[in-house]
Amino acid sequence: MDHGLRFSDPATYARTLRRAHELVISGVPRPEIPTSLVDSWHRSMALGISPDQHSPRHLHEVAEVLELRREHRLQQVMPALHDLLADDSRTGRHLLVLTDASGEILWRVGSPTVLRRADHLEFLEGADWSEAGIGTNAISEALVTGGPVQLFSAEHLVRTHHEWACTAAPITDPGTGRVLGVLDVSGPLDTLSADTLRMVRCAVRVAEALLGTSDAGTSLGTSSPQGASRRTPVPVVRPAAAVESLELLGDKPAAVFADGSRTPLTLRRAEILALLDSRSHGWSAEELAYELYGDAGTPQAIRTEMFRVRSMLGGAVESNPYRLAPGLAGRSDAGHVLRLLREGRVAEALAQYRAPLLSRSGALAVQLLRDQLDMAVGSAVRASQDAGLVARWLSTDMGSADSLAVEALGRLVGRSDPRYLTFHARAAC
């Protein structure tokens, strides 16, 4: 069987699995259903789970779950997991779930639409999604196998789950190896991609790394009545100093902190920050993915980068939508140039415009921002009617091809002036 069909033709693959599901349930083995899953189905049914059952056990009310969250060690990594994998925008189509070590759901994040779909399956806080609670599913398999698992359509035991694709992996204590919970990403069949399993694995590694960064990553603590460890949650480590500005002009982008330190930025992260700097109302992960990667872009790739950016820059970047925090908005060197232009301080703006915006970037969205900045500076310089400013502009890499500025200089100094003749000859080459 071509398992790649789950990505290329999920509807056909699901129909094949459903036929196999009915045969295996009736006692006829089928190669489409792995032996490990068949064994899990048999264990589940021996525990009283019917393929027609869709109601899991409910261990706690939602109010009690809120208290369990406060006591749970995964509380400290939930913000990072949210940044990496969640999509609670209006159009989000997948659900992020985090359980405890027994499979009880403690967190759910998703759009209103996907949450309503999950509610119909009682895939909600306080529900037991272990093998004994609801039968074979990705969460239960992650707990049984101790590794990442992906279940598609009728690989689930319960028929009402056959419209879902689920990817899950356990999160373990980096000090003891003890399972702390399971991270799960679920959604309609066509939300599954070849990257989903890799993204879940990556998010688990991030969570485990964060758990191991401080005393909160140890397993010390007194036992609560629910069996969770009592401790004061430790937030994700952030830079001690706030971000003061962004350097986006030239080929060495960096973040500058209030204490004077400077942290280099990779080109991709600088491109993201340049886009954030260009729009005050922010961007969705989908928009950024398209602008930077084209049709091949995925929101998950952006969320991974945004997690790294936010880990590096602290509260400088807000999410849902992604945008620069109010204190940083417009504080890049490129933004400073534009602000000087708006204030009519053209000479100062030209002096600050030392290099093109992210000169090494080939991303079309960044190229457009670069061209817009060139046009803004060039237009202001030409309108100044200052021959010295026009000549300075034409002497820069950004203004060297500005034929309108060459003509403006000719009108200001005369066409026999050496400055005009020099720039005119260069433009003609």
Across 410-419, average pLDDT: 88
One DSSP character per residue, 315-375 reads GGEETTTBEE-TTTTT-BHHHHHHHHHHTT-HHHHHHH--S-BTTT---HHHHHHHHHHHH
Report d(CA 11, CA 188) in Å as an integer.
Answer: 11
| Beta-bridge partner residues of 57 | 128
Is pLDDT at 429 greater than 70 in this prediction?
A: no
Tens digits of per-residue pLDDT, 179-206? 999 999 999 998 888 788 989 998 999 9
Is residue 184 classed as helix, strand or coil in its secondary structure? Answer: strand
Tens digits of per-residue pLDDT, 256-268? 998 888 899 999 8
Ordered by where they begin, the domains of the chain are 5-215 (3.30.450.40), 356-428 (no CATH)
Is pLDDT at 107 greater than 70 in this prediction?
A: yes
Tens digits of per-residue pLDDT, 266-316? 998 999 999 999 988 889 888 998 888 887 777 777 887 887 788 788 778
149-152 β-sheet, strand order: 105-109, 95-99, 179-188, 164-172, 149-152
Written as six digits, the tokens of 78 are 């939930």
262-264 β-sheet, strand order: 243-247, 254-257, 262-264
Tens digits of per-residue pLDDT, 65-87? 988 998 899 999 998 899 888 88
Cβ contacts of 231 within 8 Å, gap of 6 or more: 73, 216, 220, 221
What is the DSSP code (8-state) at residue 236? P
Q: What is the pLDDT of residue 190?
A: 87
Cβ contacts of 102 within 8 Å, gap of 6 or more: 128, 130, 143
Cβ contacts of 60 within 8 Å, gap of 6 or more: 68, 104, 125, 126
Is residue 117 classed as helix, strand or coil in its secondary structure? Answer: helix
Report d(CA 116, CA 240) in Å as an integer.
Answer: 40
Cβ contacts of 342 within 8 Å, gap of 6 or more: none
Of the pLDDT bands very low, low, confident and very high (cuts 50, 70, 90), residue 53 is confident
Q: What is the pLDDT of residue 216?
A: 40
Which residue from 150, 147, 97 is spatially nearest to 121, judged by alpha carbons?
97
Report d(CA 157, CA 151) in Å as an integer.
Answer: 10
Q: What is the pLDDT of residue 166?
A: 95
Is pLDDT at 359 greater than 80 in this prediction?
A: yes
CA distance from start to end of the chain? 63
pTM, to two decimals: 0.56
Q: What is the pLDDT of residue 219?
A: 34
DSSP-derived pairing of the beta strands 323-324 and 317-318: antiparallel
Across 344-366, average pLDDT: 93
Q: What is the pLDDT of residue 416?
A: 87
Tell me if 139 sits within 8 A of 129, measured CB to CB.
yes
Tens digits of per-residue pLDDT, 209-239? 988 875 443 333 333 333 333 333 333 344 4
Which residue from 260, 110, 106 is spatially nearest to 186, judged by alpha carbons?
110
Q: What are phi and psi of 181, to 5 degrees?
A: 175, -175
Q: What is the pLDDT of residue 1?
A: 52
Which residue from 369, 389, 368, 365 is spatially nearest to 379, judged by alpha carbons?
389
Of the pLDDT bands very low, low, confident and very high (cuts 50, 70, 90), residue 325 is confident
Report d(CA 21, CA 19) in Å as an integer.
Answer: 5
Q: What is the pLDDT of residue 241?
A: 57
Locate the DSSP E strands across 29-79. 57-58
| Beta-bridge partner residues of 109 | 96
Among the residue ranges 148-162, 237-251, 265-279, 308-322, the one predicted with the least confidence is 237-251
Report d(CA 298, CA 288) in Å as an integer.
Answer: 9
Across 373-377, average pLDDT: 93
When the pLDDT of each residue in the chain is averaged and rounded to a whole number, the result is 86
Tens digits of per-residue pLDDT, 113-134? 999 999 999 999 999 999 999 9
Q: What is the pLDDT of residue 425?
A: 78
Is pLDDT at 36 greater than 90 in this prediction?
A: yes
